[in-house]
Amino acid sequence: MKMKLPSAVISALYLSLTSATIYQNQQIRETNYPNTTVASISKHDSTWRTYAPNAHELSYKGRWDSKYISWWSAPGLKFGFQADQVAISFGQYTSPGVLIAYRLDGQDWQLTNVTANSTNLLVTTESEGYNLTSAGGTQTLEVRVTNWAYGVQIAGVHVNGGAHKLVKIPSYTRTIELIGDSLSAGQYATLEGISSYAWGLMYGLGNVEFSITAYPGICLHDSKCYGNLRGQTYQWLKVSDTSDRAIQIYGDDPPDWDFRAHPAADITIINIGTNDNNTANNVTSAEFTTSYIQLIDDIHARWPHTQIVVLSLWSGFGRVGNTWAQGAGFLDETQKVVRHFNGGGLNQYGRQGFVHYFNTTGILQHNDIGPEYHPTDFGHVKLASHLMQYLKLTFGWELEQTGPEVQHETLYWNDVSGY
C-alpha cells in the first residue's frame, strides 16, 4: 500500500532519506553512523590491489544490471578476502547518501552512507571481529543496500595488506524469491529493506540465497499504480524496478532479467494485491485474478520446480464496536487463483500441488500496523517468524541461522527487577 502524497511532501521525504534521518514514533532516531569515506584509490597505487566489478570473486545478491547497478529491495554484494583493509568504490549511478549495511563474517551489521564516485573503507585491522577466529585466513564481507528506491553502482573493490586478495565464497544451496510491494520492500520500517519481514525471513532461515523483488505502490496487474508505470506481471520479468532512477537510465525499455544465468528459486513467495485492491487504482476483480494466474504461469515456466506460496492480504484493521477486526482484500480472488492450480484445493499444508496458500489472518493485530498503514518493526518480525515455521513444516527447511544478528537496532530489554 502506498498513499498519494503531494510533490512537496515527496521532496521532503527524499531529502530526509538522503540526509540519513530515521524516524521512529515521530521521533528522530540517533544515527551517528561512521563516515567511511576515504580518498580515491588509484589503480596504479601499488599498495592496493583493485578488482573490477566483474571480478569472478564477487558475488552479487538480488538483481543487478550489466552496469553493476543494484535494483529492488536489499540487494547485496558478498566476497571473501585475505587482506588487512577492504574498500569499495561506488560509481556515478550510486544514489546520493544511500545507506548501506555491511558486516564482517558473523559480526553485527554496521551502517554507513555512501554516494556517487566515492570510495569507502569498510574493513581495517581495527574492525570488530577482524581475524578473531581465522587469523590470516579467509574472512567474509557482505554489503546490502537498505533502501528500496535508492541503489549503488559498484566501480571496484580494493584490498591492502596480508595476502592482498579476494576469494570467491560458494553460494548457499537454498534459494528463495519474494515478489511483492511496499509491505515486502520495507517501506516505513525504521531501516526499510533490512527491517522488513522479507529480510527477517531470509536471514532468519539462514544459509539462503534470496531476491526481494518488491517495490512500493506497485500493482500486480500491469497498470499504472501510485506513480509506478507498470505492474509486477511485467516488471518481475525485468532487471530494474519502477523507480525514477530506473526510468532515467532505461526509459520505458528496461532490460530483461536473464533467468538462465541465475539459480532457480526453490521457493517463491508472493505477497501482492493491496494496491490493486485500492479503489484509487481501478483494478477489477477479473483483472486481478487473470493477472495473478499469468504471474504464476510465468514463474512456473521459468522455474518448473519452484514451490509457490501465495499470501492472503491482511488489508489493515478497523474498529468494530468496541474492538478491532482485520480486513480482507481480494480474498475470494486470491483463493480462486490458488484453487486454479490445485484442482480446487487451497493446499495450505502441502502435497496437493506446487501452489500453496498461506493464511495471514491472526498473525498481525491492529497495533502491529503503523500510522502509514504498514507493519511496525515488530509486525515484520511476527510475520517473518510465522513464515519461517510454515516453510519448515511444509517443506522441511530447517532453521539454520544459529546466532548472528538478523534485525539491526532491535535490542530492547528491561534490567530493572521491580517497579
Which run of H or of E encompasses 200? helix 197-205
114 and 140 share one domain: yes
138 and 111 share one domain: yes
147 and 247 share one domain: no
Burial class from Cβ neighbours inside 10 Å (0-12, 13-18, 19+) for residue 256 reads: exposed
- The CATH number of residue 227's host domain is 3.40.50.1110
384 and 236 share one domain: yes
Residue that is written with C-alpha cell 530447517 in the block:
398
157 and 178 share one domain: no
Express as a percent the part of the chain with pLDDT over 70.
93
Q: What is the pLDDT of residues 233-275, one digit of tens each?
A: 999 999 999 999 999 999 999 999 999 999 999 999 999 999 9
Query: Which alpha helices (H) appear in 39-93, and where do they start and end?
Result: none
What's the chain's average pLDDT?
92
Q: Is 77 helix (H, G, I), strand (E, B) or coil?
A: strand
For residue 16, the model assigns a pLDDT of: 39
Q: Which of 137, 167, 197 is the last residue of a domain?
A: 167
**Does any domain span residue 196?**
yes
Q: Which of 150, 167, 184 is the last residue of a domain?
A: 167
Q: What is the pLDDT of residues 311-368, one digit of tens each?
A: 999 988 999 999 999 988 999 999 999 999 999 999 988 888 999 999 999 999 999 9
Residue that is written with C-alpha cell 540526509 in the block:
19
**Does any domain span residue 18?**
no
Q: What DSSP character marks residue 255? A: P
**Does any domain span residue 256?**
yes
155 and 242 share one domain: no
202 and 301 share one domain: yes
- On whether the CB atoms of residues 87 and 37 are closer than 8 A, the answer is no
Average pLDDT over residues 87-116: 97
383 and 305 share one domain: yes
- Sorted by sequence, the CB contacts under 8 Å of residue 313 that are 6+ apart come out as 271, 273, 274, 277, 328, 329, 330, 331, 334, 360
**Does any domain span residue 406?**
no
120 and 237 share one domain: no
327 and 298 share one domain: yes
| pLDDT band per the 50, 70, 90 thresholds, residue 32 | confident
**Does any domain span residue 367?**
yes
Domain extent for 126 = 33-167
Q: Which of 147, 167, 187 is the last residue of a domain?
A: 167
**Does any domain span residue 17?**
no
Number of domains observed in the structure of the chain: 2
**Does any domain span residue 14?**
no
What are 366's three cell numbers? 491492529
196 and 344 share one domain: yes
For residue 5, the model assigns a pLDDT of: 39
Question: Is the model's pLDDT at 415 over the cut of 80?
Answer: no
Question: Is the model's pLDDT at 134 over the cut of 70?
Answer: no
What are 54's three cell numbers? 566483474
- The CATH number of residue 142's host domain is 2.60.120.260
210 and 63 share one domain: no
The one-letter amino acid code at 234 reads Y
